[in-house]
A and B are shown apart, each in its own frame.
Chain A
Amino acid sequence: MSTPTQPTREYLAAPVHKDGAVAWLRKNLFSSWFNSVLTVLTMLALLYTIPPLIKWAFIDSVWNTSAEVCRDIDGACWSIIPRNIKFILLGFFPEGQEWRPILAMILLLGLVIYSKERHRWKKALLWYWLVGLIVMGTLMYGGVFGMPVVETGQWSGLPLTMMLSFFGMVCAYPLGVVLALGRRSKMPAIRTLCVVYIEMIRGVPLISLLFMSSIMFPLFLPDGMTIDKVLRAQVAIILFTAAYIAEVVRGGLQAMPKGQYEAADSLGLNYRQTMRLIILPQALKIVIPPTVGILLSAFKDTSLVVIIALYDVLKTTKVTLQNPNWTGYSTEAYIFLAVLYFIFCYAMSSYSRRLERELHTGH
C-alpha cells in the first residue's frame, strides 16, 4: 500500500485587477467588442457636443449685464434672467407689494416641507394648513391691515403656477377617490355616471377643457354673474386631474383581494367603515407611484394655461422675450424655466420614492 500522495500545490496567478479603476473600466465599458465600440462612439459624440456647450454656457457667457452687452458676445446671455427676474417670477403684482407673494410662496413651501415628515401627520397639521392658507390668501388678495387689494387678474408668475398646481392636486385627489369608488359601486346609476365622466374627460385633451372654461363657461351662467377667470381654469384643471386619479385608484381597488372585503363584512363594518379603515389605506398605498406620476403631470400641465392667456411663469417668460431688448435669448430663458420645473418635479418624485419605502409593510 502506497503512502497517500502529497497533494500537489497549485499556484494560481494573481487575479487580474478585481477592483480598481482599470477593472471597473473593463467591466463596465469594455466588457465585449460591442460594448467597446459603443463606449468609443458615445465618447466621441460627447466630446463633439459637450465642450462647445460648456463654452457657450459658461465660458463665453455673461451673467448680469445690460442687453447691449449681450449683442456682442458669442456665448449665452444669462443676463436676461437676473434683469427680468421680478417680472418672470411675480408678473403683474403691483410695484412695492412684491413682498406679499414672496412671503406667501415661502409660507407654502415651508408648510409643504414641514408636512413631509410622517410623524407630523396629526389633526394639528390640518389646523396649521387652514391658518396657513388663510394667511396666504390674505397676503395675495390684501384689503386688510393696510394692504391694497390685488385682484386675481394680477396674480401671475410663479405664485399663479404654484397655486394652480397646489389646489389642482389637493382638490383633485379626494374627488378622484370618490369617482373611483363610484365606478366600483353596486348602484348602476352612480356607476354609469362615474364611468361616463371618467372616460369623457380622459378622452379629450386638457386644452379643450381649458377652452370650455374660458370661452364656453361664461355662457352657462345667468346674466350678470361672472366667475373669476383664474378660478375657472383652476376648476378645469381639478376636474381633468380627478378623472386620471380615479383610474389609478380604481387599479388599487381592483388589486384588493376579495377576502379583505369579506373580512370587513364579517366584522360588521358598514360600507364607510370598510372603505375608510380596511380598503382605502391599502389600495391608496399600492398606487403611490402612478398617483405621483399623475400629480406630476398635473403640475407640468398647469403651463397649458398660457394658451388661454393666464400669466403663469411660462407666459411671463414669453412676455419678457417679446421685449425688443431681450428678443433672441429664448434658449437661455427656457433653460432657466426648465431647471425650475425640473427641481420641483424631481423633489416630488424623490419624496414619493421615500414615502413608498416608509409605507412598505410587506416582506
Chain B
Amino acid sequence: MPSAVPFWRDEAKRAIVFQLAAIAIVFGISYYLFSNTQANLQRQSIATGFGFLDKEASFEIGESLIEYSAADSYTRALLVGALNTVKVSFIGIVFTLILGTVIGISRLSKNWLVSKLAAAYIEVMQNIPVLLQLFFWYAIFYEAFPAPRQALNPFTGLFLCNRGMIFAVPAAHPAHSAMGWTLLAVLVGGWVLNRWGKKRQAATGKPFPALRITIAAAIVLPAVVWLLYGAPTAMDIPALRGFNFKGGVTVSPEFSALLLGLVIYTSAFVAEIVRAGIQSVGKGQIEAAMAIGLRPAKVLQLVVLPQALRVIIPPLTSQMLNLTKNSSLAIAIGYADFVAVTNTIINQTGQAIEGVALIMLVFLVFSLSTSLFMNWYNKKMALVER
C-alpha cells in the first residue's frame, strides 16, 4: 500500500485549512465588531441608516458651484462638497501636469543654472509635508495680504486682499455662450478631421495638416462669432462696496492656498517622473531619428515622447490620484470639500459610520474611475508586440 500522506503534510489539504482559518478569523472579528457597534449605537441612541440625507442641512457652505442654501438637504450639501473636490482636483491636475513637465524638462536642460534650480525645487518641495505647505500658503494669503479696503491693485481689474483674488471678467453677454459652442464645434470637427486625415495618410501616404487647421479655426471662428454679435467689450470690474468687493470673480484664499499647495507639492513628484521617463529613451533612438533626417521637434514628437510616455503614465496616474486624495486636506484650512462637508454632517448628526463610509465610497469612485481611464489610455499607448 502506498504510504498515505498524512493530511497535515498534504499541500492541497493544508491550503484549504489555512484559507478556512483565515476566513473564519476575518468573519469572527467582523462579527465581534459589528455586534459591539450595534450595542453601542442602541445604548447611545444614535440613528442608523442613510435616512438623514433628506433632512435639512441648516449650515452654510462658503463656496459652491451650484445653487445652495442652508435650507437645502444634506444630499445637496454633499453634492456641493463633491463638486468642490472635483473642481480643485481637476484644476490642480491640469496645473500640476504643466508645471511638472516644465520643471522635469528644466532638470534635463543643458543650462546649468536652470537645471540646478529645478533640482533644488524638486528636492525641497518633495521633502516638506503637503499639509505644512497648505498652512504656509494659507498664512501668506491671510497675513501678508491687506484687508479689502487696502487691497493691492497691481493693475486695473485685479485686486489682491485677504478675502482672496478678485479679478474683472467680461460682462455677461449672449456672444460668450455662442463663442463657447463654436469652440466646442471646432474641437469636435477637428477630432473628426484628424481621424479622416490619419486614415487618408494610411491609405495614400499623403499627410494632412489637421492639427494646424483645427488650431487656426479655434482662434478665427470664435473671433468671427464675437464680431458678428457686435464685438461686446463691456467688463464686469470689481469695486469696493462697504467691507467687500462686488462684481468680478472672486477666488477664495482657501481655494487658492489649497490649489497652490497641492500643485507645488505634486509637481515636484511629476517632474521627477517626467525626467526619468525622458531619460529612459535610449540615446541611440534619438541619434537614429536625427540620422534619418527628422527635425528636433519631430524627433520629440515621433520618437521620444511615444516611448517616454509609456514609462511615465503608470506613475503619473498614481500622482494624480495622490493629488485627488490629498485634496481632502482642505478640511485643515477650511475649504468646503467633500470631507469637510461630511465632517460637519457627522458632527451634526453623530452618524460617524455612515459619514466615514460615504467619504470612503466617494474617494474609491474617484480613484477607480481615474485608474480605469488611465488604464485605457495606457493600453492605447502601450507597445504592440507580436
Contact = CB atoms under 8 A, between A and B. Distances in A.
Given A187-B19, A215-B352, A220-B36, A29 B363 contact: no
Contact of B129 (A28, A43, A189, A303): A303
B19 A314 contact: no
Interface in A164-210: 186-190, 193, 200, 202-208
Main secondary structure of the interface of B (DSSP, over half): helix
Given A187-B19, A208-B339, A216-B356, A223 B43 contact: yes
A291 B128 CA distance: 18
A134 interface: no
B40 A223 contact: yes
B129 A301 contact: yes
B231 interface: no
Interface string B84-124: 00000000000000000000000001111110010000011
Contact of A342 (B40, B127, B143): B127
Contact of B339 (A43, A207, A303): A207
Nearest to A301: B129
Given A205-B325, A219-B41, A341-B127, A331 B143 contact: yes
Interface in A33-63: 35, 38-39, 42-43
A300 interface: yes
Interface residues of A, number: 53
A43 B113 CA distance: 9
Nearest to B331: A307
Contact of B360 (A208, A338, A345): A208
B353 A205 contact: no
Given A29-B112, A38-B114, A301-B129, A211 B359 contact: yes
Contacts of B346: 211, 215
A346 B40 CA distance: 46
Contacts of B111: 28-29, 31, 35, 38-39, 42
Contacts of B368: 203
6 contacts: A43-B113, A205-B359, A222-B39, A304-B329, A338-B128, A341-B127
Main secondary structure of the interface of A (DSSP, over half): helix
A318 interface: yes
A334 interface: yes
B39 A208 contact: no
B267 interface: no
A233 B149 CA distance: 44
B363 A205 contact: yes
A204 B325 contact: yes
A296 interface: yes
Interface string B160-176: 00000000000000000
A338 B114 contact: no
Interface in B306-360: 325-326, 328-329, 331-332, 339, 343, 346, 352-353, 355-356, 359-360
Contact of B356 (A208, A331, A341): A208
Interface of B: 15, 18-20, 22-23, 26, 33, 36-37, 39-41, 43, 109-114, 117, 123-124, 126-132, 135-136, 139-140, 143-144, 325-326, 328-329, 331-332, 339, 343, 346, 352-353, 355-356, 359-360, 363-364, 367-368
Interface string A302-314: 0110110000001
A328 interface: yes
A280 interface: no
Contacts of B355: 211
Nearest to B44: A219
B23 A189 contact: yes
B91 to A, nearest CB: 18
A42 B121 CA distance: 14
Interface of A: 28-29, 31, 35, 38-39, 42-43, 186-190, 193, 200, 202-208, 211-212, 215-216, 218-223, 296, 300-301, 303-304, 306-307, 314, 318, 328, 330-331, 334-335, 337-338, 341-342, 345-346, 349
Nearest to B35: A222
Given A189-B22, A330-B135, A338-B136, A207 B328 contact: yes
A303 B36 contact: no
A223 B39 contact: yes
B301 to A, nearest CB: 19
Most A C-beta atoms less than 10 A away, residue of B126, B127, B136: B127
A188 B356 contact: no
A204 B131 CA distance: 17
Contacts of B36: 219-222
Given A193-B23, A306-B131, 18 more contacts: A28-B110, A28-B112, A29-B111, A31-B110, A42-B111, A193-B22, A208-B359, A208-B363, A220-B33, A223-B40, A300-B127, A304-B329, A307-B331, A330-B139, A331-B139, A334-B135, A337-B132, A345-B126
A328 B356 CA distance: 35
A193 B359 CA distance: 22
B372 to A, nearest CB: 12
A199 B40 CA distance: 29
A83 to B, nearest CB: 18
User: Which 7 A-B pairs give the minimum distances between C-beta atoms?
Assistant: A330-B139, A28-B112, A345-B127, A189-B19, A300-B129, A205-B325, A203-B367
A337 B43 CA distance: 44
A328 B19 CA distance: 59
A362 to B, nearest CB: 18
Contacts of A296: 126-127
A346 B123 contact: yes
B363 A42 contact: no
Contacts of A216: 352-353, 356
A345 B143 CA distance: 28
A219 B136 contact: no
B247 to A, nearest CB: 30
Contacts of B332: 306-307
Given A203-B363, A205-B339, A207-B329, A341 B40 contact: no
A313 to B, nearest CB: 10
B41 A314 contact: no
A218 B36 CA distance: 10
A171 B19 CA distance: 24
B143 A328 contact: yes
